[in-house]
A and B are shown apart, each in its own frame.
Chain A
């Protein structure tokens, strides 16, 4: 190891210590600098986003041969394509010749992608099919020995149509990485009789001027809901006074204890969920009793019960899947320490009724994104936090301790129902809003930085 890399490793270790995690002392603190320091931000892109599995889309976005979508992993532009013979591939969206972005479009269908700069061409399997005027190029022999194909990502995997990719090969198998989060993806996917989900056409992209981890935390945070979203709750309560059966309200089975809980998993993932007697909103699955019965027959009453509970799933580092009044898949792309781009899709089971689909869309528009009545408040709140984090000399924030006095380990009634073995769980009254489910993300953040520094975590 040379001096430069030793310095880099030392800096990464120093950054990783900004998360102060001492479970036996019941201390969990996050230094404010983690949200604003450019050195932290660079380390996160390189050693977290560009070093582990990222969600890059649904297989159904590239359903047919030669379909493509473009996205990002960290800073890297990515081109996802289905080849002419039906195989999904993910490639760095950069020409082998001079680095030009090969495909500048969001999505479409093309057999070939021709670089606009000098005309090098690639087919939908990423293979280079033309180096323009190669014969007259006076290339040295070494050139023809080089591979000119688009560079594939190091790892690509799919879990029931959810595509994940990693720029580093030094990652666990996808199944291991996802672990028990698969049970929560299943709870959405199995709402479809055919076991397929799709994005409803019409994605939203928006930005907020705050660090990406504000979104990561907020998606796991029920504590904020009553305060931040009180204006939205007022609207819902008013609407609910006159809501008919079409609103999709369902009831918990008798004997269920109301409450709010979370599960923490390895590799940074977590889910928060709630059991409520009085719902604030209905959901598409609840609006058609016959269809709900059919789903219940197919998946069993226990899993059907969980399908009707609100669940916010975070798959670290870039994905949240929210199944509440509608279903949302949202990903974030860090643009700067204080700027984040969000891409949001409405997620839907294939095969639901037209009425359920329309309710899903209306509910999604109502709640989510910069134009929604709830998420817009979150976006502004992130910016308020980012401004407050400029008080760098202030003590660490006190936002990671709700639930720390009573962290659950091993089995619970809820883990048994779901057949999962989370590393930790929490459960409290509906007003609980635990914060221990932020910990796994920060532990994975710490592990990846330590790993990059060459230490054993």
Chain B
């Protein structure tokens, strides 16, 4: 507890100084409360599993429709060790991860420069915007039949679907980031003698970064939705395929394993982007 008492002393000193840059920092909340708060999350999850186990033991629903958490855990171990439908769980996770990585990274590589150019050059905006406005309101899933007819059920249509779904999100976020550059930052650079291209590179681009990262976090969710949808309908491997295939065989425990895997992976990707964001835009929300 030595650490927490030192914290209290620090807090007191800054209160006495009434420092003008003293800002209430959520990180300074008493550490004991943080532990309680974390424990709450853990307890709620545990309680959910417990209730699930009881409901399923009581056979409120047919066991085939609602397997117990323990059965799901066993199904997880089984397909982890021996695989399912001809390939291993890790294999399916790998396939889905590769697809989404290629699709999402591709969307960022294409979307960010296109968004930057559209925000800066009216001519390019006029060319691309109609397509963007057309593609955006159509749910990406509506393109799946078309993509299957054109490109079959290989890797290409899945990656294309991710691109179609994610690129507009990235483009719009990037454009809005560019437009949200505070005018003061531009005036400062101008009076310090920066050229147009220097202003773009040294002021507009870093100013747009926070919004680009926000768009990426939204985009990864969209990309993941597109991928799983594509795998559900037209695939022979991957997590979406696993869920679909097990569902047709009424192996609900495996379906649930697949859903949990999809959830965990999606969350992990979001966390990864947040991590990169914290490294690349440490000033977000402070500047």
User: Are both chains from one complex?
Assistant: no
Task: Identify the A interface with B (CB < 8 A).
Answer: none
